[in-house]
Amino acid sequence: MLSTGTKAPEFSLKDQDGNVRTLSEFRGQRVILYFYSKDMTSGCTKQACGFAELYPHFREKGAVVIGVSKDSAESHRKFAEKYSLPFILLSDPELETIRAYGVWQEKMNYGKKTMGVVRTTYLIEDGVITKAFGKVKAADNPAQMLAELE
DSSP string of 54-96, one letter each residue: HHHHHHHTTEEEEEEESS-HHHHHHHHHHHT--SEEEE-TT-H
Pairing state between β 12-15 and 104-109: unpaired
Domain boundaries 12-148, corresponding CATH code: 3.40.30.10
pLDDT tens digits, one per residue of 111-130? 899 999 999 999 999 999 99
> How many angstroms separate the CA atoms of 56 and 3, rounded?
28
* Average pLDDT of span 10-26: 97
Kindly name the residue from 13, 31, 44, 88 that is annotated as catalytic. Answer: 44
pTM > 0.85: yes or no: yes
pLDDT band at 110 (very low <50, low <70, confident <90, very high): confident
Give the residue, 109 or 128, on which the prediction is more confident: 128
Does the annotation count 44 as an active-site position?
yes
Q: What percent of the chain has pLDDT over 70?
A: 100
Measuring CA to CA, which residue among 97, 101, 69 is closest to residue 85?
A: 69
Tell me what pLDDT residue 52 has.
Answer: 98
Buried b (16+ CB within 10 A) or exposed e, 11-28: bebbbbeeeebebeebee
| Percentage of the chain modeled with pLDDT above 90 | 95
Q: How confident is the model at residue 19 (pLDDT cuts 50, 70, 90)?
A: very high
Q: How confident is the model at residue 28 (pLDDT cuts 50, 70, 90)?
A: very high
Separation of alpha carbons 144 and 124, rounded Å: 15
